[in-house]
């Protein structure tokens, strides 16, 4: 008989970021964005009084700039644009902002040219037009204005208004970076790290990250910390990784807060401190960072550091899952399956598994296959079960490969095909799965889908038996006991294998061990031991053992 694992094998997915001591090994590339700027902090509210004098201060400044602007002063025209763009003491009006920026820009005011480009890029006060944006950026950039140079780099990198061109993006980022612009220095580091528009060079990447980090640029501090943690060009140094991650985290950068949580969790560069880890995960989670939300959910789920609370676990899993984070979707699905923290709901369970499965996550595809196989949350459908098992199996997921082998052998959702079944069992067996090894041995013994080969059958039984599979141990015991399938009869070997399986509670082996004690084969004859083992097997309902006991009592 082919051995099949319990179909309902749905378990929580391993916690990807909670218990595994892993620091994020890749940089989350920040999407570069263009800048608009205000000269002399014209709309920085910290430079003005607050309270009753707040509006008066802006009104006074506005009137002063308006009079100068109407006389053609480019700086005043630019500042009026800033006031209208940001609603500084007046009603925000993008169209008027564009009008004043244009007046200043046409006089060659670089800041106005750059901001006008930004307005075209974002479609504020004008119809969005990346070509026009780049035209104005270029005018300012050619005059050496760093912000415009940076913005041109952004649009070349993203292909907005230009054909995407990383080489040109690199050139413009470099111009801005060499003027000390922190955001451009960071982007230049990113280009070097990923080999975009330049030969990949980790040393150069880290040099530019450092320039930006020293200016307090949080994303660069995070990236520098990440590279110290992973050893990208540096000798791995968790102390320095912790230092730079902390700087970014204290500025409120969520990804750095998450990594800082990992440092505290695993004792990397700092003494292990689960409470601090939880605190930093919470900071990142509260900002909506999906991985941190997942971790908090997992800690509440497992009662790790935090008091176990399934309702809180579900809350955090859901926040993460709704952002599309597949690990959270899987665990949320499992909570619905088990009714932990929520009312048991198979339909919700399958819905969340499907979201993760559609992202190509093998364990979710397998779980979805199980749901269809068993009719949990959906009408039982072997064809759909087969479809999802196949997706996971093609990614090498052993449990799904095993289930496919089972379905081909039994003709569930597919045409019965033992050759296909053997092929799938073989894949799983090669991965060291003892149940598949036993089944593959059985296929060789019976000639199911492959040419009958006793030698191969015995070899696969032995592989499974050596891993502690009781059915395989009992099988080997019988082969040695009876001298079957080319195995030389050896009662001592038979007794040894029966004993291994019997000690695991395998009733047929317990019965056979009783027989060997009764007959004195492979062991000294011992009726008491024989009765003991027959009883063990009979207590499990194994009828041959009950019959043997009845005979012995006569």
Confidence of residue 311 (pLDDT cuts 50, 70, 90): very high
Please check the confidence at residue 534 and state whether its pLDDT lies above 80.
Answer: yes
Task: Report the pLDDT averaged over residues 224-234.
Answer: 87
Any idea of the CA torsion for 436, 437, 439, 442, to the nearest 10 degrees?
170
Q: Name the residue ranges covered by the structural domains of the chain.
A: 1-21+284-416, 468-553
Task: Give the highest mean pLDDT range of 2-11, 303-312, 459-468, 545-554.
Answer: 459-468
> How confident is the model over 200-216, as pLDDT tens digits?
999 999 999 999 999 99
> How confident is the model over 138-163, as pLDDT tens digits?
999 999 999 999 999 999 999 999 99
Confidence of residue 171 (pLDDT cuts 50, 70, 90): very high
The fold of the 1-21+284-416 domain, in CATH, is: 1.25.40
Task: Report the pLDDT averaged over residues 517-537.
Answer: 95
Of all residues in the chain, the percent with pLDDT exceeding 70 is 90
* Mean pLDDT, all residues of the chain: 89
Please check the confidence at residue 297 and state whether its pLDDT lies above 80.
Answer: yes
What is the predicted pLDDT for the residue at 33?
Answer: 57
| Cα dihedral 371, 373, 376, 379 sign | positive
Contacts (Cβ under 8 Å, ≥6 apart) of 52: none
What is the predicted pLDDT for the residue at 490?
Answer: 96
Question: What is each CA distance from 167 to 157, 164, 191, in whole angstroms?
Answer: 9, 9, 9
Task: Report the pLDDT averaged over residues 286-300.
Answer: 96
> How confident is the model over 363-378, as pLDDT tens digits?
999 999 999 999 988 9
- Pick 550 or 253 by higher pLDDT: 253
Contacts (Cβ under 8 Å, ≥6 apart) of 67: 76
DSSP annotation of 487: P
Confidence of residue 50 (pLDDT cuts 50, 70, 90): very low
What is the predicted pLDDT for the residue at 37?
Answer: 55
Confidence of residue 61 (pLDDT cuts 50, 70, 90): confident
Question: What is each CA distance from 377 to 324, 364, 374, 399, 419, in whole angstroms?
Answer: 21, 15, 9, 21, 32
Other Cβ atoms closer than 10 A to 358: 14
Confidence of residue 188 (pLDDT cuts 50, 70, 90): very high
Confidence of residue 32 (pLDDT cuts 50, 70, 90): low
Same fold across 1-21+284-416 and 468-553: yes
- Pick 50 or 100 by higher pLDDT: 100
Other Cβ atoms closer than 10 A to 468: 12
Of all residues in the chain, the percent with pLDDT exceeding 90 is 84
Please check the confidence at residue 36 and state whether its pLDDT lies above 90.
Answer: no
- Give the architecture (CATH level 2) of 468-553: Alpha Horseshoe (1.25)
Task: Report the pLDDT averaged over residues 483-506.
Answer: 96
């Amino acid at each position: 008989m082919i051995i099949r694992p319990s179909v309902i094998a749905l378990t929580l997915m391993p916690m990807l970021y909670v218990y595994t001591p892993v620091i994020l090994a890749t940089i989350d590339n920040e999407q570069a964005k263009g800048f608009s700027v205000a000269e002399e902090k014209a709309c920085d509210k910290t430079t003005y009084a607050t309270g009753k004098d707040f509006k008066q201060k802006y009104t006074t400044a506005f009137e002063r700039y308006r009079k100068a602007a109407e006389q053609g002063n480019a700086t005043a025209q630019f500042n009026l644009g800033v006031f209208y763009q940001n609603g500084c003491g007046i009603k925000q009006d993008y169209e008027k902002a564009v009008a004043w920026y244009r007046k200043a820009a046409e006089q060659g005011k670089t800041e106005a040219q750059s901001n006008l480009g930004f307005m075209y890029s974002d479609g504020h006060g004008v119809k969005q037009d990346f070509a026009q944006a780049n035209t104005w950026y270029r005018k300012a950039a050619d005059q050496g204005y760093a912000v415009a140079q940076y913005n041109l780099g952004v649009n070349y990198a993203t292909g907005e208004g230009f054909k995407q061109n990383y080489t040109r993006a690199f050139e413009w980022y470099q111009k801005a970076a060499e003027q000390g612009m922190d955001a451009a220095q960071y982007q230049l580091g990113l280009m070097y790290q990923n080999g975009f528009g330049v030969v990949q060079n980790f040393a150069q990447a880290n040099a530019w990250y450092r320039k930006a980090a020293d200016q307090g640029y949080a994303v660069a501090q995070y990236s520098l910390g990440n590279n110290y943690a992973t050893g990208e060009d540096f000798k791995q140094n968790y102390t320095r990784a912790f230092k730079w991650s902390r700087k970014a985290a204290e500025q409120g950068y969520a990804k750095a807060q998450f990594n800082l949580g990992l440092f505290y969790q695993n004792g990397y560069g700092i003494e292990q401190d689960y409470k601090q880890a939880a605190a930093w995960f919470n900071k990142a989670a509260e900002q909506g960072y999906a991985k941190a939300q997942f971790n908090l959910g997992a800690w509440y789920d497992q009662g790790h550091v935090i008091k176990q609370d399934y309702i809180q676990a579900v809350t955090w899993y859901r926040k993460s899952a709704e952002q599309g984070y597949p690990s959270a979707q899987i665990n949320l699905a499992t909570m619905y399956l088990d009714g932990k923290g929520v009312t048991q709901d198979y339909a919700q369970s399958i819905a969340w598994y499907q979201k993760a499965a559609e992202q190509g996550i093998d364990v979710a595809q397998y779980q979805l296959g199980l749901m269809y196989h068993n009719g949990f949350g959906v009408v039982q459908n072997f064809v759909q079960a087969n479809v999802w098992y196949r997706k996971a199996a093609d990614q090498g997921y052993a449990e799904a490969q095993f289930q496919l082998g089972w379905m081909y052998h039994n003709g569930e959702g597919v045409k019965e095909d033992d050759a296909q079944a053997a092929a799938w069992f073989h894949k799983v067996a090669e991965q060291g799965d003892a149940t598949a090894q036993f089944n593959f041995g059985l296929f060789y013994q019976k000639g199911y889908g492959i040419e009958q080969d006793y030698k191969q059958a015995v070899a696969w039984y032995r592989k499974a038996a050596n891993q502690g599979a009781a059915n395989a141990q009992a099988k080997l015991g019988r082969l040695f006991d009876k001298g079957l399938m080319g195995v030389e009869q050896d009662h001592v070997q038979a007794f040894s294998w029966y004993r291994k399986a019997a000690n695991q509670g395998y009733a047929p082996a317990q019965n056979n061990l009783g027989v060997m004690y009764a007959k004195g084969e492979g062991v000294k004859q011992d009726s008491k031991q024989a009765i003991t083992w027959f009883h063990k097997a009979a207590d499990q309902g194994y009828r041959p053992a009950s019959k043997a006991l009845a005979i012995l009592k006569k």
